[in-house]
């Protein structure tokens, strides 16, 4: 078992996320099966796997919006969904969740007020300008969110999550639909957040080339974790050149194992 630092705010506390026997049921289906893994602090952990494998459900469990979660799931030293975590986690859903009938700045101002109502207006404005610059939307600050392109709207959604410098960022497919330049810029931003602000990032993707940019990888398939390792270790272990090939290798292995289980039954 893990030992937790007595002060949950202490930056040297161990793992950002720690799961044991984590199971999630949605309707008649079990979406996540007895997962056990850890997400270390101050690093970028990639959550990869085909769509429908349970990535979003796992992320929703971590931020505490998923119902019917059993097992152990500790986030920043507290059980997932603890009220004290709400201001310490930034969460970006797959579909941009912003108000289309507000401008970008009005969206940010509102969420900043919800996050930290006690803060001085000048300080909040400074925060808003910072996140606008982070996602490169300063020039669109006064445009209605509904009039922006899909990629711009998802960046507004990301900017909201960056407000108030959260310790843990949970980003569900943040780079979908972005052009290569923006994708590179965002990954540079993610690395800066981890390196300079000590933030922990959990980023999901189904694009395997993004996996190479992560410090650690959680490979998922059918609600189970296939591998939990660094990209290098994965490639070495499977004797492949790319994470994509490593993933396919592991999937084939798992499928073969499933088959032998079925035939011996």
Q: Does 66 bind another protein (CB under 8 A)?
A: yes
Q: Does 141 bind another protein (CB under 8 A)?
A: no
Closest approach of another protein to the CB of residue 179, in Å: 24
DSSP structure string for 101-153: TSBHHHHHHHHHHHH-TTS-HHHHHHHHHHHHHHTT-GGGTTSBGGGS-HHHH
C-beta separation of 182 from 151 below 8 A = yes
Closest approach of another protein to the CB of residue 99, in Å: 6
Q: Does 110 bind another protein (CB under 8 A)?
A: yes
Q: Which is nearer to another protein, 3 or 263 (CB)?
A: 3
- Compute CA 92 distance to the chain's CA centroid, rounded to the nearest angstrom: 8
Q: Does 26 bind another protein (CB under 8 A)?
A: yes
Q: Does 87 bind another protein (CB under 8 A)?
A: yes
Q: What is the rounded CA–CA span in Å between residue 197 and residue 51?
A: 31
Q: Does 71 bind another protein (CB under 8 A)?
A: yes
Q: Does 28 bind another protein (CB under 8 A)?
A: no
Question: How is residue 157 written in tokens?
Answer: 């959604």
Q: What is the rounded CA–CA span in Å between residue 80 and residue 16?
A: 11
Closest approach of another protein to the CB of residue 259, in Å: 32
C-beta separation of 231 from 211 below 8 A = yes
Q: What is the rounded CA–CA span in Å between residue 25 and residue 32?
A: 7
Question: Contacts with another protein in 195-254 (CB under 8 A)?
Answer: none
C-beta separation of 64 from 97 below 8 A = no
Q: Does 43 bind another protein (CB under 8 A)?
A: no
Q: Which stretch binds another protein (CB under 8 A): 37-45, 72-80, 174-182, 201-209?
A: 72-80
Q: Which of 84, 97, 78, 75 lies closest to 168, judged by CA? A: 75
Among 46, 49, 54, 77, binds another protein (CB under 8 A): 77
Q: Which is nearer to another protein, 72 or 240 (CB)?
A: 72
For another protein, the binding residues (CB under 8 A) are 4, 6, 8, 20, 26-27, 63-74, 77-83, 86-87, 89, 91, 93, 95-102, 106, 110-111, 113-115, 117-118, 144, 160
């Amino acid at each position: 078992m893990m030992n937790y630092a007595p002060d949950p705010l202490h930056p040297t506390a161990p793992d950002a996320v720690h799961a044991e026997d984590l199971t999630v049921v949605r309707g008649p289906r079990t979406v996540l099966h007895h997962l056990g893994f850890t997400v270390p602090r101050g690093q970028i952990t990639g959550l990869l796997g085909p769509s429908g494998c349970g990535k979003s459900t796992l992320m929703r469990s971590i931020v505490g919006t998923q119902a019917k979660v059993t097992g152990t799931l500790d986030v920043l030293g507290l059980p997932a969904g603890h009220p004290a975590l709400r201001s310490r986690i930034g969460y970006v859903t797959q579909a941009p969740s912003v108000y289309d009938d507000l401008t970008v700045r009005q969206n940010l101002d509102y969420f900043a007020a919800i996050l930290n109502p006690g803060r001085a207006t000048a300080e909040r404005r400074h925060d808003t300008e910072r996140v606008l610059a982070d996602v490169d939307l300063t020039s669109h600050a006064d445009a209605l969110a509904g009039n922006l392109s899909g990629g711009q709207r998802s960046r507004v959604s990301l900017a909201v999550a960056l407000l108030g410098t959260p310790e843990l960022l949970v980003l569900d497919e943040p780079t979908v639909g972005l052009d290569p330049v923006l994708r590179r810029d965002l990954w540079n931003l993610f690395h800066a957040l981890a390196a300079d602000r000590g933030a922990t990032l959990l980023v999901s993707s189904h694009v395997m080339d993004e996996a190479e940019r992560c410090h650690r990888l959680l490979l998922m398939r059918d609600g189970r974790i296939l591998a939990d390792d660094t990209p290098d270790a994965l490639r070495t272990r499977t004797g492949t050149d790319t994470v994509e090939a490593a993933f396919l290798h592991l999937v084939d292995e798992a499928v073969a194992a499933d088959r032998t289980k079925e035939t011996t039954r």
